[in-house]
Each structure stands twice: as C-alpha cells, then as structure tokens.
Structure 1
Amino acid sequence: SGRPRAGGADAFGYLLVHFVEDPDEHRETVHCSLSRGDDPTAWDRLGVVLESRLGTTGLRDPHVVRTKDGFVLVATDLRVFGGDDAGWDAWQRHGSRSLVVSRSADLVRWSEPRLVEVAPARAGMAWAPESFWDERAGQFVVHWSSTLFGPDDDAHAGESYSRVLYATTTDFETFSPARVLLDTGRTTIDTTMIEHGGRVYRFHKDNSPGGRGLYMDVVPHALSDDATVLAERIGADLFGDVEGPLVFRANDAERWYLFVDQYGDGGQGYRPFVTDDLASGRWEPAGGGFDLPDRTKHGVVVPLRGDEWQRLARAWGR
C-alpha cells in the first residue's frame, strides 16, 4: 500500500501549506494558499486552517504528506513572536522536542492538533519536520533538525550544532526511536526530499559560517548516507539569506520548482527557481510574474487532483 500520488490525467492545481511571519500579530499558525488554476507561480491566500493551544502555542514549518486515507500534517512546535521570548539560543537548547500532528481527509477540515515527542532527552529541539514515504521499507520517514548534547550535559549548556534526525512510522501514532540521518559536523537544518528516477534528491541549509548555504545532494534511498552534492549556495547570489526550501514536480510537464524562503533584511518570503533536469542540480530563477503574498514562510506545496482543487476553491469561496 504505497503512498498515493495526485499525478496522472486528473492532476490539476496546487496547495501551498505554510505559516506567515508577522512580529506584530500571532500568525504562527497553519495557513493555506491555492494556485490560480494549474499555475504554480500565481497564488491566492485562503486563510488559517489550524491553530494550536498546545506546547508553545506556535505552529511553524508545516509539512503535509498524502496517505492512503487522506493527509497528515506535521509542524514545528515553536512560537517566536509573543511566546516566552527566550531567544534563539535558548530555544535550541531547551525547546520543544515534540512535533505537532494533525490529519485531514479533504485538505479543508483538520483534526485537533496533538503533540508527539520524537526527539530524545539529549536533544535541544525538534524543528522543521517533514514526512517522506520510503517505498523500500513500506513506511514513512519523519525527519527534523535537533541539536544534541552529551550524556553528562543535562543542562544542555555545552556547545552543539543541528543534525538531521529521523524516526519511522506507518500510522503517525507510534514512532521508532530517533536516529541520526545526517551529521556533517556543521549546523544543518530544513532538509526536504523528493524522489525521481529511483533516487532521492535532498535539499538542506548549512547554517555554519562560510558553509554551503542552501545545497542539494542525491542519495540512492531516503536513509542512505552515500550522498553526492549537486549544488551549493542556491539562491544566495540573488536573494542573500535563504532557507526553508520546498520542491515539487509540475503537474503538466517534466519540470520541477524549488521555492526558497528569503529572510533577513533583503525581504521575507518565498522566491521561485525552476529546472527541467532535476539530476543536473542547475536551477534558474522562474522569471517574472511570480505572485505570492509577502511573508509566506516555510511550508510545502501539495500537487492536487482537479476535484481536490475544486473542493478547496468552493470551500474558500474562490
């Protein structure tokens, strides 16, 4: 029972699931934006579909995966604005080690969120979770970023850096113990994956000074450590500081889109790149006409079927 896909003759439209960066208002909630027709470069923001009163009460970096009977969302349990104001260093040492999980049958109505603790006690946090269907093993690989501290450092006071950890699940109710998926010796966050041609293409943010920035590699399968780097510092020459990559294949062509999340003084929100050869590692700016509201932040694009797009459009009066 592999993960269903939207593709084929019925493929039409896209849903962007994301949060919104706003220091003046609580918008660290799950928002949705819908493509205008089948155009992945033009979007209308629909609104908020999920809020949390659990944990930190924040929802960042939402990711949605298609399952046999609907969709499952995982998100970061972190509130940057209007929370405890502890700051980034403290959040990486003593942050939430749980993911927020919610389900939907139709992408319109979502279940009440619940917290699932996935990171071990020696982890400082669990950020930017994503779910990837591992066809080889018949299970989902759920991965996220965590700092890790030594067994004698209960106070999490020592030096650390983010690795990518993972757990496996078949039902999003029970998860295997966490293991390390990627440890480069440097701070690595925001991993996302896409399968094509029997290989898995991954994107990561190397956040270390002088590091690779946003980079792309390829592995034989999701849990492999045999990686070949294909591109480094993607988007840095045009947009400066970028993170939170999302990648998806176009419905109607052998074409892939990569959205990178610009942050810092240069602007806030996603900027698009495109390629017709995923394996090349070459990405070009998607050109003019990209229409997405500012401050649309770290999320995922879900390719849809025509009936799913129509249902979302009707539900939101589009």
Structure 2
Amino acid sequence: MNVRPFFGLLALCLLGACRESRSVYLFTSFREPATAGLYFLYSRDGYHWKDLGGPWLPPDVGPRKLMRDPSIVQGPDGVFHLVWTTNWSGDKGFGYAFSTDLIHWSPQQFIPVMEDEPSTVNVWAPDLFYDKDSSRFVIVWASTIPFRFPKGQEPENDNQRLYYATTKDFKTFTPERLFLDPGFSSIDATIVQPGPGQYVLVFKDNTRPERDIKVAFASSVLGPYTNVSPSLTAEFTEGPTATRVGKDWLIYYDAYRKKMFGAARTRDFHTFTDITAQVSVPKGHKHGTIFMVTRKTLRGLQEASTHLQIDTTHATH
C-alpha cells in the first residue's frame, strides 16, 4: 500500500482543506413582492448558482407580513440565525427566527430596535455578523429619522443612516446606536473580516445620483469606519453581500434596474474587477447574504425540497 497519498490527504485535512471540501455556499433570497418568504440558492464554487426553491419560511410577523433582505449567520453552536425586513415603512424593528437545519424553524419574533425614536420611518435590511473576538452578534440596519442629518436630493423620509445593536443570545439586545454617518444617505450594509483586526463595511450610497456600492474600513467591528471608497459599481445597484472564494473576495450586488445580479472580485478591497460575465445567478433572485454550510446540510435541503410546495409565482423574469 502506498501511504503517501493517505498522509498527504491527512495533512490537507489537518490544514482545513477537508472541512472546506465539505462546504458549499448558500445565498439567501426573496421574491418580489416579498410576501412568500425565504428562498435559497446554492453554489459549489461561489460563481455559479442554482435555485433551491422555496419558500422555506413564510413570514408571519409585522402588519404586512413581508420578508425582504433575509440575512443568515451561523453561530458557534451551529444554530442558524435569520433576520429580515418586515415592512417598507412603519415598523420599528425586524423579523427573527432560528434553525438548526434551515428546514425547521423556530416561531418567528418581531425584534423592536427603534421604539425610542418615535419619528423613525423604517428599519431596512438588517444584516448579521458574528464577531468571534467579542463572542457576540452585531446587527446593522438602515433607518430614517427625519431632520436628524443633513441631506442631499433625496426626500427627508429617505435620508437613511446606519444603526446597530448587539446580542449574545437574541433575547437581550443593546440599545441601538448610530453605526455609520458618512455624510450621506446609506443603506444595505454588510460587514466582512478579511483578517485579524481588519473589518470592511460594504454598503450602498443611497444618494442621488449615486445609488451605488462603496466600502469603508475599521480596525474594530463597531468602527469607526473611515476612508470611504469611490463607487465600485455602476448606478442603481444595491443589496451587496461578500464571500471569500480561495484568496479572493467576491462582492455580489443587485443591479435592480437591469433585473440581474452583478459581481466584483477583490483581494484588498481597494482594487476591484468586474466579473459579472463570469457568474450565473437565477432570474428572480433578490438580494440576501451568502454563508457556508456543510454538504450534509445542503443534502437535507435538497431532499426536503422534493416535498416542499415550491412557489415560483412571484419570480420576476
């Protein structure tokens, strides 16, 4: 028996390659008009995506029972946590549920986060990030508080800023605080950590005529985030999410006027290459977040999808 291949494989496993080989990418999704619930895409290479169908979790919190901008992160105990936008305006919080397999979900809850600001117009696109350094979850969202900040061409009820709260158990939350005021209306933020003590915020500049994706940098998860970049996408892009593929980071974004997804590749978050022509995303997919799961989890979803009542009536083409 030639033991070299065995020990070579063992060495790779010890270095984490086996774990990576068992992992696939999932992309949370919703379908307009956002009344059906949670959908998933999956990919084995981070570039080419397939539809896993849905809805996996119909929304039942909030007056309008919407589910937009679903964001999922897996905690250190293996539990998946999901947050989402429940309404265009009026709601001062977001939806929340958890699952161990992405198939069976806890009862849904509405998490109020802006009740102490009675003039708050909205709570949009809550995004989850688990910070290993502080063993806590950070939730970042966009809200408008009219006449709180200087504004540009956008109306006063669309002058957004980014806010945050933290939690360790999704039962108690810190009071909301301002997360980022870059001097202009901002929404759709997501945090990535390229390395120790390195944090990047990817977000949408929601001002007119910008409406594009930018990044900012910090040495702590809560900031301050500074050195806001020039736009890395064209106009009318939103809902960014970033994932690591090999040595690269891929930033996916919703080119909503073109009704398609685009993508940019970077290694340093300073230089970006448009790779839209190299990725494939099913039509009808609306923006969420990308996270990793095991192949076992994917197989469970695929097996369950054969028994799921797939709702594609709201997909846009």
Please give the TM-score of this superposition, normalised by the length of structure 1.
0.80
Q: 2:178 corresponds to which residue? A: 180
Q: Secondary structure at the match of 1:9?
A: helix
- 2:54 is the alignment partner of 1:42: no
Structure 1 40/107 Cα, relative in aligned 2: closer, same or farther at 3 Å? farther
Q: 1:233 corresponds to which residue? A: 231
Asked whether the equivalents of residues 47 and 280 of structure 2 are also in contact (C-alpha less than 8 Å), the reply is: no
Letter aligned with residue 145 of structure 1: A
Letter aligned with residue 74 of structure 2: R
Cα distance in 1 for residues equivalent to 2:131 and 2:73: 12
Alignment root-mean-square deviation, CA: 2.4
- 2:258 is the alignment partner of 1:274: no
Structure 1 158/271 Cα, relative in aligned 2: closer, same or farther at 3 Å? closer
Asked whether the equivalents of residues 45 and 293 of structure 1 are also in contact (C-alpha less than 8 Å), the reply is: no
Q: Which moved more, 1:169-178 or 1:203-212?
A: 203-212
Q: 2:39 corresponds to which residue? A: 31
Cα distance in 2 for residues equivalent to 1:232 and 1:168: 29
Cα distance in 1 for residues equivalent to 2:65 and 2:142: 19
Q: 2:250 corresponds to which residue? A: 257
- 2:67 is the alignment partner of 1:59: yes
Q: Which has the larger radius of gyration?
A: 2
Q: 1:195 corresponds to which residue? A: 193
Post-superposition offset of 1:45: 3.5
Matches within 5 A, 1:1-318: 8-11=17-20, 12-22=23-33, 27=35, 29-35=37-43, 37-55=44-62, 56-67=64-75, 68-78=77-87, 91=89, 95-119=90-114, 120-122=116-118, 123-149=120-146, 161-198=159-196, 199-211=198-210, 213-229=212-228, 231-236=229-234, 240-250=235-245, 253-264=246-257, 267-275=258-266, 277=267, 279-286=268-275, 288=277, 290-317=279-306
Letter aligned with residue 144 of structure 1: W
Post-superposition offset of 1:8: 4.9
1:266-289 deviations in Å (ceiling 9; x for gaps): x213222223x1x24222222545
Cα distance in 2 for residues equivalent to 1:296 and 1:70: 25
Cα distance in 2 for residues equivalent to 1:16 and 1:160: 28
The runs of 5 or more residues in structure 2 that have no matched partner are 1-15, 149-154, 308-317
The runs of 5 or more residues in structure 1 that have no matched partner are 1-6, 80-90, 152-156
Cα distance in 2 for residues equivalent to 1:271 and 1:178: 32
Asked whether the equivalents of residues 121 and 157 of structure 2 are also in contact (C-alpha less than 8 Å), the reply is: no
Structure 1 40/313 Cα, relative in aligned 2: closer, same or farther at 3 Å? farther
Q: Secondary structure at the match of 1:298?
A: coil
Matched residues, percent identical?
Answer: 27
Post-superposition offset of 1:105: 0.2
Asked whether the equivalents of residues 212 and 233 of structure 1 are also in contact (C-alpha less than 8 Å), the reply is: no
Cα distance in 2 for residues equivalent to 1:260 and 1:226: 21
1:77-109 deviations in Å (ceiling 9; x for gaps): 126xxxxxxxxxxx3xxx211110010101222
Q: Secondary structure at the match of 2:55?
A: strand
Please give the TM-score of this superposition, normalised by the length of structure 2.
0.80
State the number of aligned residues.
Answer: 279
Of Structure 1 and Structure 2, the greater strand share is in 1
Cα distance in 1 for residues equivalent to 2:50 and 2:141: 27
